[in-house]
Structure 1
Amino acid sequence: MMLGVISMGFVQAVKRPNVIIILADDMGYSDIGCFGGDARTPNLDALAAGGLKMTQFYNASRCCPSRASLLTGLYPHQAGVGDMVNTRVQPAYQGYLNQNSVTIAEAMKRSGYNTYMAGKWHVGQAPEHWPVKRGFDRYFGLIDGANSYFGNIPYRPNQTLTIALDDKPYDPGPGYYSTDAYTDYAIKFIDEGQPSGKPFFLYLAYQAPHWPLQALPEDIQKYKGKFMAGWDELRMQRFKRMKASGILPANAVLSPRDSSLRDWNTLNTDEKVRWDDQMAVYAAMIDRMDQNIGRLRKKLRELKQDKNTVIMFLSDNGASHEKINPTGFTPQMFANSQKMASEPGSFTAYGIPGANVSNTPFRMFKHWEYEGGTSTPFIAYGPGIVKPGIKSDRPAHLIDLMPTCLGLAAAPYPKQYRGNTITPAEGVSLLPVFRGNLWKGHPALFFEHEGSRAVRQGDWKLVSEFPANKWQLYNIRSDRAEIHDLGAKNPAKVKELVGLYENWTKHAGVIDFDKLEKKRSD
């Protein structure tokens, strides 16, 4: 089948393209080079330069709700992952993908695509919910939410973690590093599928740079000492780069340093060196991810598939403020968290100090519905399909990836699948954006996670955090850092957006968080 591509005056007929979605884990808005970051990301930078950057793209603010939304084109609650992978009786919170949703892999497989996944799954831990049961021909990766990068090492009391190859547990041997291993298998799957002549869909969900901070020595060495200027100076440097490159508008304002952080100059030398070490390892993890994206692109060139492949890149939520603490982790892992991040056997996190830099210029982090929790860099690249050099500030969301992929594949979204009625998809195809054309976008976008809530409508954003539950109103065009609450001056707009939100909760099956059983998950 041929797919007609129309882009700003040029028409080109191509075969149905391969489609690759690359997902980073817990990576902040400004962490990659082309969005202002300190890590060396030449491969992602090249994709952005030769394709599209979207500067107001949203995720669902937490690992598994975002993955559920990405895979199904639904809001997380509609897919059965309204909170985390905790099993609950309420259908919207059952903790795994439901049968009234269909994954991108299931829909594209029906239309003649080979379907592969490598990396972190985190939307169903029982074997009957693994990727090979949800439309993927081949799978390798981590079923759970987090793990060591060097093997399968439980970190909580009485925990079982699973690395799987297809539908069987897999025991990694010596020399394992998850970022490399995921790419190894992604390349292997693509190679083995070439004789079929079918196009492929690949979902490559890297674990990086989610805690624990673990990287390879040769990568860490590149960054040692690069962060000794401190978090205030580094945030300002990123902020200036982001404005200079157009990621942020000229009128953008940098949010204040997080209130929990001290002035950098009050830290002693040991404290500064420890933080520099954590940031060096974090940057090294992103660097290694980018190197592996380069390996994948090299394989596409070798197979002469590089001119017929669309690649999309994004993160599942904003940077993570989380720490390794003595109550939620085993005594050994907590002891390992006291080591320097670059030491062998360490199990550390960079907490609020690192996350506040990663999320420049925003405030707050993963889990909350402020921009720091929900904003991701988004890159799309595809010769002849994605017009080079486009930058869009239109609000878009994970739900848009399903119709975008199906549009590329000329595949229908099913109304029925395996005897189940499928919930209609919520997203809007991004193909007009890829082509540089007008895009209708969304009347509004909605967010809810563990009681924190938001509505984005045009330039307005209404947001609240749990348990305060106080609505705040921001104009994102003039105040994307969400500093000036305009709710008191615009009560009619607040009322309007609250009404939209309440109608959406009924539509999506959202339940008040304080009415759900409280459980911990990563």
Structure 2
Amino acid sequence: MKKVFTLLLASLCVAGVSAQQKAGKKPNIIIILADDMGYSDINCFGSDIETPNINAMAKGGLVMTNFYNASRCCPSRASLLTGLYQHQAGVGDMVNTRPQAAYQGYLNTNCVTIAEALKAGGYNTYMAGKWHVGTAPEHWPVKRGFDHYFGLIDGAGSYFQPTMPYRPNQHLTIALDDKPYDGIGKDWYSTDKYADYAVKYIKENKGTGKPFFLYMAFTSPHWPLMALPEDISRYKGRYINKGWDKLREERLARMKELGIVSKDTKLSPRDSNVPEWNSLTDKQKWDWDDKMAVYAAMVDRMDQNIGRIRAALRETGEDENTLIMFMSDNGASHESTNGPGFTPEVNAANAKPASEPGSFTSYGFWGANVSNTPMRMFKHWEYEGGTATPFIAYYPGMIKPHQSAQPGHIIDLMATCLDAAGVTYPKTYNGHNILPTEGISLLPLMEGKAWKGHDDLFFEHEGGRAVREGDWKLVSQYPQNKWQLYNIKEDRNELNDLADKYPDRVKAMEDKYKAWAAHAGVIPFESLPKGHGDL
């Protein structure tokens, strides 16, 4: 009876198209991007972290379990915004500037952003949160199609003092539209403040008579680990009695139950940088519990603010006519916030407990290995642990609630947004020739129709390389540069290298990679100068 009711409810969701949609009103479009969030960090993908607002979208929308990003902050953002591979958009590595066009460190003039394309198609365009694809004022969001912007121009920062430098000789900027913002007060918490403006933009759009596009780019849960006391308190003590091995096993079990991974998926081995739990002292165990509690609180608070954004849609009567897409920019981060790359003050703050005021720390390999359950490796690498992200699309009355294991990629968002809006991708913009988009609209898949998808998907970051062709993935890490071959359908965690068994397939996929690398402008990492600027 329960199954019949669920099927009936799903059919009613599809049949019950809103009056706005029947009238041909263009949908509002919201893209929500988490920062450094692991594959299993939201509740509907196996986590113990409470994310009821994201869960609700997953329950009523499309869940894609084989969706990909570009494995690092700036490259993913460049691809998301332009529908191109990051090298084609000018952000082949990070935002440090280089003379090579594919690595100049900011969006070039041979690409358009989703905001530029939708603005030309009659949309109001808004952004809140992290930009990180061009630090000079001439490359800020308002110069790339956004009517209004509020957020962090740079890549990371304190959640309580967002312009405090954490690297030597660093300058961080919070901007409001095209000017630095100087209204940072004592009550500042970045996740809340960025969402404040997202809510403001939604409410102010109501009287304009135009649909809107909102790019909500949270910095959460990127290091430093910083959260509000009331959120931390709900998670303190949850992790001390289990340890990372047990937590990973529990997450995998939930993922199987939810259908996120297949029933025969094996847990990847504990990362070699993570010791056996019982070898830790009690102090080390409590310190890790503290870090995990703060990390969980950061994800929780992001979800609360997604709830505020959805409440603003209901308040303005736009909830039934808004397409929302949610994902992360890369896998969980193993990175440390300690060492010569950070200021003496930050190095001192790194030693404080994560929940203590003034702390500036990260959860490192120990926490990232849990966040990326059941996969191996992390942000930066082209293995699944670096590139796989949850993807959820929610649009009441249009999207049939279902899951898909078909591979999708962050390059698909441009085509999807324009398809939903009925806007044509431009061949020229502001007198410049625009490269053809590399993505494919996800709209048919959202509607429950047949979707051909991609023949191949390609990846490169700082020498790491990969190509996915159907169920097969060819991948290598730098500087070893040795190709490994995996059947992702049977071996999602890349544990069984089949390169020696199928040398012809390796050669054919390598040839595809080389052709793509030449097409995209990839330069071997060892041949690139270091460049300069904020990494």
Coarse TM-score class (shorter-chain normalised): over 0.9
Q: Can you list the C-alpha shifts for 1:296-342, whole angstroms capped at 9, x where unaligned?
A: 11111010100000100000000000001220000010000000000
The aligned runs of 1:159-174 (5 Å cut-off) are: 159-171=170-182, 172-174=184-186
2:100 aligns with 90
State the Cα distance separating 1:230 from its structure 2 match.
0.3
Q: Match for residue 407 of structure 1? A: 419
Report the counterpart of residue 506 of structure 2 in structure 1.
Answer: 494
Runs (4 or more) in structure 1 with deviation over 3 Å come to 7-12, 519-522
Matched, 1:514 2:517: no
- Checking the alignment, whether the CA contact within 8 Å between 1:26 and 1:318 is kept in structure 2 is yes
Structure 2 residue 467 is the aligned partner of structure 1 residue 455: yes
**1: distance between equivalents of 2:254 and 2:440?**
31
Please name the residue that 1:281 is paired with.
294
Matched, 1:417 2:429: yes
Distance 1:326 1:494 in 2: 39
Q: What amino acid is the match of 1:510?
A: V
Q: Please report how far the alpha carbon of residue 518 of structure 1 lies from its aligned counterpart in structure 2 after TM superposition.
A: 2.5
Write out per-residue CA displacement over residues 1-52 of structure 1, whole angstroms, 9 at most, x where no aligned residue: xxxxxx9888862411100000000000000000001211000000000101
Residue of structure 1 equivalent to 2:3: none
Corresponding residue of 1:181: 193
How far apart, in 2, do the equivalents of 1:320 and 1:108 lie? 33
Q: Is 367-376 or 146-155 further displaced after alignment?
A: 146-155
Please report how far the alpha carbon of residue 387 of structure 1 lies from its aligned counterpart in structure 2 after TM superposition: 1.2
- Secondary structure of residue in 2 paired with 1:310: strand
Aligned equivalent of 1:27, options 7, 18, 37? 37
Q: Determine if the alignment matches structure 1 residue 303 to structure 2 residue 316.
A: yes
Determine if contact 2:14/2:397 at 8 Å carries over to the other structure: no
Tell whether the 8 Å contact from 1:85 to 1:124 is kept in structure 2 after alignment. Answer: yes
Q: In structure 1, give the amino acid aligned to 2:85.
A: Y
CA offset at residue 98 of structure 1? 0.2
Counterpart residue number, 1:140: 150
Query: Is the 1:26–1:366 contact (alpha carbons within 8 Å) kept by the matching residues of 2?
Result: yes
* TM-score normalised to structure 1 length: 0.97
Matched, 1:469 2:481: yes
Q: 8 Å contact 2:221–2:299 — kept in the other structure?
A: yes
CA distance in 2, matches of 1:169, 1:422: 30
Count of aligned positions: 515
Q: Name the structure 2 match of 1:260.
A: 273
Maintained 8 Å contact 1:8/1:437:
no
**Contact 2:98–2:531 at 8 Å: present in 1 too?**
no
Query: Are 1:119 and 2:129 matched, yes or no?
Result: yes
Aligned match of 1:3: none
Q: Percent of pairs identical after alignment?
A: 67
Corresponding residue SS for 2:207 = helix
Secondary structure in 1 aligned to 2:479?
A: coil
**Alignment partner, residue 78 of structure 1:** 88
What letter matches 1:464 in structure 2?
S
Q: Could you tell me the TM-score, scaled by structure 2's length?
A: 0.95
**Separation of aligned partners in 2, 1:250 and 1:363:** 18
CA RMSD of aligned residues (A): 1.2
Match of 1:101 in 2: 111
* Alignment CA distance shift 1:363-1:425 (3 Å): same
1:352-363 equivalences in 2 (<5 Å) = 352-363=365-376
Structure 1 residue ranges without an equivalent (≥5)? 1-6
The partner residue of 1:346 within 359, 364, 378 is: 359
SS in 2 for 1:108: helix
Q: Which amino acid aligns with 1:408?
A: A
Task: State the Cα deviation string for residues 403-451 of structure 1 (Å, max 9, x = none).
Answer: 0000111001000000000000000000011011110100100000000
| Structure 1 Cα separation of the partners of residues 361 and 531 of structure 2 | 23
Give deviations 1:230-264, integer Å, cap 9, x for gaps: 00000000000000110001121110000121110
In structure 1, C-alpha distance between the alignment counterparts of 2:505 and 2:489, rounded to whole Å: 16
